[in-house]
Amino acid sequence: MQEFSILIGGKAGFGIDKSSSIIGRLLNRLGYHIYIYRDYPSLIRGGHTFSIIRTSRNRIAAHTDKVDLVIALNQETLNLHKNRLKQECLFLFDSEQVKVDVKTCGLGIPLGKLLKEENAPDIMKNTCIIGAMVKALGLEFNILEDVLKKEIPKEIDLNIKVAKRGFDESKELIKIDSIAQKSLPLLSGNQAIALGLIKGGLKAYISYPMTPSSPVLHYLAEIADDFSLDVLHPESEIGVILMALGYSYMGKKSAVGTSGGGFCLMTESLSFAAMAELPIVIILGQRPGPSTGLPTYSAQTELHFALNAGQGEFVRFIVAPGDAEEAYYWSCVSMNMSWKYQIPSIILSDKNLGEGIFNFDISAVGELKEETPILWDRKPPYKRYLFTENGVSPLAFVTDKDAIVKVNSYEHDELGITTEEPKATMLMQEKLLRKEKFLLKDIDEHFKAVNVYGDKNSKTGLLCWGSNKGISIELGEKLGLKVIQPVVLNPFPVRQFQNAVSGLKRLICVENNATGQLAKLIKVHGFNVNEMLLKYDGREFSIEELEERIKEVLK
């Protein structure tokens, strides 16, 4: 089979998320590439939750509307998603919860009965039906056993028993073969960001819970001991960023993670970080707004907010990674850039990137190492804000002998003492801004800041950023379009972008917002798009949907 997709759905609290990880891992081990799309409402119990696990022989990072198998833990799932099925009757369901119109259609498993016989709690229904799925796909049971051990360390024996009951109750519906392809690790975008920050030297992660970035906090808290990290969850996002700046003042690389609302609270300190030249990395996971908006859904609405947040004029580094490898790579680079230039970096993520599950191929990531910032040569007197050619002053830290380290939110002199002198003000403002030229040169010479994919000879370009990378590449290749994906969004890599779009007759911009934020950004640099394909319902583009919309404008 070239590719197939499974949808599993139920009420929130049924363990749909866990189930999709188990299914994903299972199919991953057969050699397929995996992408998991997760759709869940902002509540704890009840409400409809589903995941689509798509597998393919090729690299993928998008889901399709049509699926090969639906697994329905409740009636709503079947009602809502039946029409997605490529073959009408290919669904598995809890026969005690779900009524079907045609008696012979689908495969019902009496989950409650099986669980009761095993004395197992209700929460194991998903394990039971996954057992049934394994047989429905024509797979051996033992492959599931090992996956369950990895995914559910708690009560594993009972889980295996329950899965086996489901397996025995089931029958083969379609045959999935394993393929001779090396299985790659599966990571969420959030995990990849976390690991990238660690690679870049992260010592302290501070965050206040907010979807879609909370999983970074949870994950780093879980692996804190492995890397000797300080992970803190303080009183508010204001406390968060100021604590992070306290850490970086002490020479400990720090990062924070939030979404739009939390970032609003952080902007005063973003500006402070710039003035005090304290390095900081901010993960900004976008979701639909304004305000609370749709907390558990996705958007690309904070590009201009990230570009312009904070009072005053200063340099910032902004990246928008498009998949797990880029999330890992650019998170490490963001940390390096923040410390090399003593500036804030913003990693623009979104719910689709952060919570989507991707294959992660570290060999495709490219050369990466933690860089050491420029340090004081230990010749007193130490000047925290020493004027230099590139605007970057050598760093010393508290407890360094003979160095008095004074950082200041006021305009200040080289020593860090407050000043309101006109000349000193001008010189210090120029010092701050001078960094941009060197940063841009650095990016332009050492990094692929703008990616090009698809048919490179095509005269029509598909422009995208962030989590629309995967779907744009897939459709670019299918429809013969050139795909352009700027990853660095500030300072904008004009030269690389110019090269990427040169020769194009037509540029189609794909974004998850209502105004075309990337289109607006490139316009400032003298580039225009011809069409905008915007989606702002919180959901990610499916392959079919975007393909149809591209074809419509190509007509």
Partner 1 sequence: MNPIKLGTDTQNTWCPGCGNFAILNAIKSVLTELHSEGLPLEDVVLVSGIGCHAKIVDYINVNSFYSIHGRVVPPAEAIKLANPKVKVIGFSGDGDSYGEGIEHLIFAAKRNIDITMIIHNNRVYGLTTGQYTPTSPLGFRGRSTPRGSMELPFNPLEVMLASGATFLARGTSHGIDLLKRIFKEAILHKGFSLVDVLQVCVTYSNLYEYYERRIYELKDYNATDYNQASNKIREWNYNNDASIALGVLYKKEMPTFEDRFLAGKTTEPKDKDLKIKQILEESI
Give the residues lining the site for partner 1 (CB under 8 A): 25, 28-29, 150, 183-187, 191, 195, 198-199, 204, 206, 223, 225-228, 230, 232, 234-236, 238-240, 242-247, 249-252, 268-269, 272, 276, 360, 362, 398-410, 412, 416-418
Q: Provide the residue type at 195 as one letter.
A: L
The residue assigned the tokens 């950004």 is 521
Smallest gap, in angstroms, from Cβ of residue 533 to partner 1? 33
- Residue 18 or 82 with smaller CB distance to partner 1: 18
State the Cα–Cα distance between residues 275 and 107, nearest whole angstrom: 64
DSSP string for 62-79 = -B-S-BSEEEESSHHHHH
Smallest gap, in angstroms, from Cβ of residue 232 to partner 1? 8
Q: Provide the residue type at 235 as one letter.
A: E
Smallest gap, in angstroms, from Cβ of residue 94 to partner 1? 30
Is 137:175 a contact under the CB 8 Å cutoff?
yes
- Residue 225 or 389 with smaller CB distance to partner 1: 225
- What would the two tokens of residue 328 be? 């890992």
Q: Which residues, listed in sequence order, are joined to residue 71 by a DSSP beta bridge?
A: 8, 92
The residue assigned the tokens 């009496």 is 110
**How many residues are there in the chain?**
555
- Residue 29 or 434 with smaller CB distance to partner 1: 29
Closest CA to 120 of 164, 169, 159, 168: 159
Residue 524 backbone zone (phi > 0: left; psi -120 to 50: alpha; other: beta): alpha
Residue 40 backbone zone (phi > 0: left; psi -120 to 50: alpha; other: beta): beta
Q: How far is CA 419 from the centre of its chain?
A: 42
State the Cα–Cα distance between residues 136 and 90, nearest whole angstrom: 9
Closest CA to 190 of 38, 64, 88, 52: 38
Smallest gap, in angstroms, from Cβ of residue 144 to partner 1? 15
Residues 291, 295, 299, 300: is their CA dihedral positive or negative?
A: positive
Residue 544 backbone zone (phi > 0: left; psi -120 to 50: alpha; other: beta): alpha
- Secondary structure class of 504 (helix, strand, coil): coil
- Residue 47 or 209 with smaller CB distance to partner 1: 209
- What would the two tokens of residue 150 be? 């990895």
Smallest gap, in angstroms, from Cβ of residue 376 to partner 1? 13
Is 191:357 a contact under the CB 8 Å cutoff?
no
Closest CA to 213 of 254, 259, 264: 259
Q: Angle at the Cα of 437 (from 433 to 443), degrees rounded to 5? A: 125
Q: Do the strands 488-490 and 317-319 form a parallel or antiparallel pair, or are they unpaired?
A: antiparallel
State the Cα–Cα distance between residues 19 and 148, nearest whole angstrom: 10
Residue 104's CB: how many other CB atoms inside 10 A? 6
State the Cα–Cα distance between residues 247 and 8, nearest whole angstrom: 43
533's CB contacts (< 8 A; 6+ apart) are 508, 509, 510, 511, 546, 549, 550, 553
